[in-house]
Amino acid sequence: MQLWQVLIDNFPRFRDGFLVTCQLVGVSFVIALGVGLVIAGLRVQPLRSLKWVGAVYVEFFRNIPLLVLLFISFAGLRRAGINIGAFAAGTGALGLYTAAYVAETVRSGVFAVGRGQVEASLSIGFTYPQTLRRVVLPQAVRTVIPPLGNITIAMIKNSAIIGAVLAIAQDILKEARLINARTFQTNEVFFWAAIGYLILTVTATVAVRYLERRLVIRR
């Protein structure tokens, strides 16, 4: 079987590429969630100036192609004398880009949390930031788990752009291209590359289902 032979012959490269993609996705995910929550927080707290900071962030990162962000974060910064390396540039750009979508989604979840919840929290004696952190965001995040899952899956797929652009990020796609350049077994090679991404996206889907069952707020 051609198909299996390609996998077996090039297994170490496929495996390494897969692991690099896992790392790219993992780090980007942490950045996206962390920054996204902070930006969502800025957008829903009462101070106008901070609201504005959040809005500018979202509009900036949502309205620039990821590809351009990647060029800026890697080549652009390097030209400016700041070399953060391909991995940091890639995960930074993908994480910050995805964070804009996370922020918007969490914000919609925050607005779905009733005014009564905020008042109950304030009347216990919580400050606004505490109310956000302890009462509003936990509920908001729970209600937006399904859309956050979609964003995560999009992010996994977008991670391929890093390998397509940045010279030294040896992710699934990059390894597949290298193997292809050597073997010319294009269909087989990219079939296995696709399987690599599928493993990640299906895992994410299952994880989201699980979280949904565990955390969903019954009302």
CB 183 within 8 A of CB 6: yes
Asked if 51 is part of the footprint of another protein (rule: CB under 8 A), the reply reads no
Is the separation of the CB atoms in 5 and 180 below 8 Å? Answer: no
Helix, strand, or coil (residue 137): helix
Instruction: Give the residue, chosen from 89, 100, 135, 200, that forms a contact with another protein under the rule CB under 8 A.
Output: 135
Phi and psi, residue 170, nearest 5°: -90, 70
Smallest separation, CB 19 to another protein (Å): 36
Asked whether the beta carbons of 36 and 98 are under 8 A apart, the reply is yes
**Least distance from another protein to the Cβ atom of residue 48, Å:** 17
Does 212 engage in binding with another protein (CB under 8 A)? no
What residues numbered 138-157 form the site for another protein, per CB under 8 A? Answer: 138-139, 142
Answer yes or no whether residue 116 interacts with another protein by CB under 8 A.
Answer: yes
124 binds another protein (CB under 8 A): yes
Q: Which residues contact 48 (CB under 8 A, 6 or more apart)?
A: none
- Closest CB to another protein among residues 120, 206: 120
Note whether 15 and 26 are within 8 A (CB).
no
Residue 214 near another protein by CB under 8 A: no
Q: State the residues that interact with another protein by CB under 8 A.
A: 114, 116-117, 119-127, 130, 134-135, 138-139, 142, 215, 217-219
